[in-house]
Structure 1
């Protein structure tokens, strides 16, 4: 036959495990270092809408509600004012209120227990004379045309020309004078801090106009206390000397009354 037969050698190796004592053991390895953080992953798909919450029966735990409640948001801007609403219907009348308590007992303004009927005071006196009133002296009068109240002592004394306050309060005083010469009159009182003078001058040189009447008026409101006096007096200003010696008729009316 052509060719050749090869020789086949079967080599059998027998593995015999080697024995090793503790001295041949390996060392423990070191812990590995932490790796670098990985990149963020892609956003997940939006979840489906949850079911509607169901109100539980029974008492609600406030502590749980406070935990579920979110933080308060910022205050929003004020909205535009809406149109004015229609006026509502008039409601029914309420019940009558209870009567009030009685007030404090009133006090009379007149000493000695006199009533309000005595709280009156008024006078009006007239002086008709041809002489000029003495400068700086209270003007005196004839019998008063009016002099109230019905008290024993009159408030106005014609002989002295003084009005003496008996009823404290607010008074009005006025005067009128008629003369053919210049006239200056002053309302004087202890209740005044300054004089209230009034003047009217006759500067006409012709005989006709010089004999015409000159009318002078004045008035004042005063708050008087008991005992304070008010009177009328003349004073010197720009009158000519011959006017102070004039003997033609002159009339002065002095009046006053209690307002309240």
Structure 2
């Protein structure tokens, strides 16, 4: 028993001596860092947070720039929705500006016996004015310089003749103003007798008028003509101011 105790004492002394010497010169080399372990499993979901406070509405004007910055990117176009119910009829809008005048249409043709004329075909009227101060040439159609009305261009201002394109009953009349004696007559192939009217005055303004109702066929012509009766040569050469108005219009159509 005593021998073992002494051996233990010797071992303990040896250990103390060895430890004291290796504190400085007997330190071992650092080992390598260990390898990363395998990832762990996902944890359990956290607890749901509390509801946030409501946004405060600004009473001031809306800042468009801010809204544009907050606006997200435009998404793709969605499919067309179901058509909604028909809405109420709106109020009638204001009249638009009148359109431009169209070009004249082609000349119409006779529709034959027993047909009926359309409203457009059954219209014909003219009113022309002679402003030339010279005395109208004797025995010739009176020509005119100004046109007031000339539907369908049935009256030729250059020749002074009305050309019937719509068969029917017409009324023609004229009025003249002059300081010399004037004789005028309405002439047409539809007349068996010429209708002459004369006015004799003494250098004062006086109006001469005349009129007639005629039944016309397509192609027949009507014109105003000057003729001589008791006028003096000085009156025929007169260049004082004169005015002659010649009018004609369709009373009712009568298809051939």
Smaller-chain TM-score range? 0.5 to 0.7
Q: Distance in 2 between matches of 1:167 and 1:131?
A: 33
Q: Is the Cα–Cα contact under 8 Å of residues 187 and 232 in structure 1 kept in the other structure?
A: yes
Q: Deviations over 1:119-169 (max 9, x none)?
A: 1000000001111000000011113110113xxxx2000000000100000
Match of 1:215 among 182, 207, 211: 207
1:132 to 130, 135, 140: 135
RMSD over equivalenced CA pairs, Å: 1.9
> How far apart are residue 111 of structure 1 and its match?
3.0
In the aligned structure 1, how far is the partner of 2:196 from the partner of 2:170?
Answer: 18
- Look up the match of 2:12: none
Secondary structure, counterpart of 1:215 in structure 2? strand
TM-score by length of 2: 0.53
Equivalent residues of 1:110, 1:118 under 8 A apart: no
Structure 2 equivalent of residue 39 of structure 1: none
Q: List per-residue Cα deviations over 1:198-235 (Å, max 9, x = no partner).
A: 00001x3xxxxx2x202100000000000000000100
| Contact 1:198 1:216 (8 Å CA) reproduced | yes
The answer on whether the counterparts of 1:176 and 1:253 sit within 8 Å (CA) in structure 2 is yes
Q: 1:115 to 1:126 in 2, by over 3 A?
A: same
Secondary structure of 1:163 counterpart: strand
Does 2:161 match 1:169? Answer: no
Work out the CA distance in 2 between the residues paired with 1:110 and 1:160: 24
2:84 maps to: none
User: Is contact 1:110-1:119 (8 Å) kept?
Assistant: no
- Structure having the higher helix fraction is 2
Query: Counterparts of 1:143 and 1:218 in 2: how far apart (Å)?
Result: 20
CA spacing shift, 1:234–1:114, aligned 2, 3 Å: same
Counterparts of 1:227 and 1:243, CA distance in 2: 36
SS at match of 1:219: strand
Matches within 5 A, 1:2-13: none
Instruction: Give the unaligned 5+ runs of structure 2.
Output: 1-107
Partner of residue 195, structure 2? 196
Correspondent of 2:123 among 116, 120, 123: 120
Specify the alignment match of 2:241 in structure 1.
249
Provide TM-score, normalisation by structure 1.
0.52
In structure 2, the residue matched to 1:19 is none
Distance 1:192 1:182 in 2: 25
For 1:119 and 1:143, the matched residues in 2 are separated by 24
Q: Is the 8 A contact 1:162 1:229 kept in 2?
A: yes
Q: 1:109 to 1:120 in 2, by over 3 A?
A: farther
1:237 — aligned with what?
Answer: 229
